[in-house]
A and B are shown apart, each in its own frame.
Chain A
């Protein structure tokens, strides 16, 4: 590895750090807001966690979560925050595709695309 690549690597690292931090801050803010609303609106527990029932489609599909969050539903906002949290590492990988393209490291562009494909499959492949 020669000097210029190392420098480019370092710049990429810095951008990635920023991206990750922004994602976590945004996610935590949404979860906190939704959480406060949730406690105010639902003083009595909604769910018995001892028995697994699984979430309704409103809270497990991207479309359902977006609809709920737009309606300012407390649990919808929390789920949106969690969705953004899950999307943060995915965005980091997507960003790496561009970074490796910029460095013309085609081998790693391919590897990164494979990882990105697997992540997108996990988010969208089930529905």
Chain B
């Protein structure tokens, strides 16, 4: 296979990955890493390096559109970024000491959780439980646009959210993914943020978290230009297209289909990891 063929195939796969990642809210990284390792037999270190770079591109591109809508809570985001960046630095440092097979098995487990979460994510209105001492001290309570007016909400469970965000950061730095599923879990369930606010704030944070991991990957030599180029461009274009389609189409069927594909990839990752194929 020459460079052009290799690059075109990787770009096409990344485009599809970015498209499906945006439609389902899982992000491009979760498709790109299994694709590169299982299909193209790329070493997992190169794969997570390229995937993490594409995560930054997607997050920054989408955040530019989200922030204007006024849903994201920048104070919650910035405070929790302390936890996610610390986690990402820890995760990126762990990559050095863990065997590729172990990383593959962890990746598979996280994939299964993400696929499950993408199917069972209820959009129920989170009950507002009133003000909380820590959140008030941190000026976290805010408003968001709902039905033409500004709806105010109270933030709770800051310590639990902070701890979960650290875990999300570790997974991001270790696996080269945005770990949006864990971020939404932290803000939705632990901190009781309204659904729209938690998803947009999560997207807002993914870029900063990924940048912390990517800085380490770059200086350790995990980011190869020849591989990262088609992955980054493919995922970026694919996710922009996916976001467009999402705005006009019901993605329920695609979501189920994609979750099935992700589940199969997850099992393959775990099997290959346990069989020592990495």
**What DSSP secondary structure best describes chain B's contact surface?**
helix
Provide the bound-state CA to CA distance between A13 and B72, in Å: 9
B64 touching A21 by the CB < 8 A rule? yes
A12 touching B74 by the CB < 8 A rule? yes
A90 beta carbon closer than 8 Å to chain B: yes
Provide the bound-state CA to CA distance between A89 and B10, in Å: 26
A13 touching B43 by the CB < 8 A rule? no
B27-56 CB contacts (< 8 Å) to partner A: 40-43, 45-46, 53, 56
Once A28-B236, A82-B232, A107-B138 are accepted as A-B contacts, the answer to whether A35 and B7 lie under 8 Å apart by CB is yes
Size bin of chain A's contact surface: 35 or more
B211-243 CB contacts (< 8 Å) to partner A: 211-216, 218-230, 232-233, 236
Provide the bound-state CA to CA distance between A119 and B84, in Å: 11
Distance (whole angstroms) from the CB of B158 to the closest CB of chain A: 12
Across chains A and B, the number of contacting residue pairs, with CB separation under 8 Å, is 205
B2 beta carbon closer than 8 Å to chain A: yes
B221 touching A50 by the CB < 8 A rule? no
Q: Which of chain B's residues has its CB closest to A65's CB? A: B218
Listed in ascending order, the chain A residues whose CB lies under 8 Å from chain B are: 1, 6, 9-10, 12-14, 16-18, 20-21, 23-24, 27-28, 31-32, 34-35, 38-39, 42-47, 49-52, 54-56, 59-61, 74-76, 78-79, 82-83, 85-90, 92-93, 96, 105, 107-108, 111-112, 114-115, 118-119, 121-123, 126-127
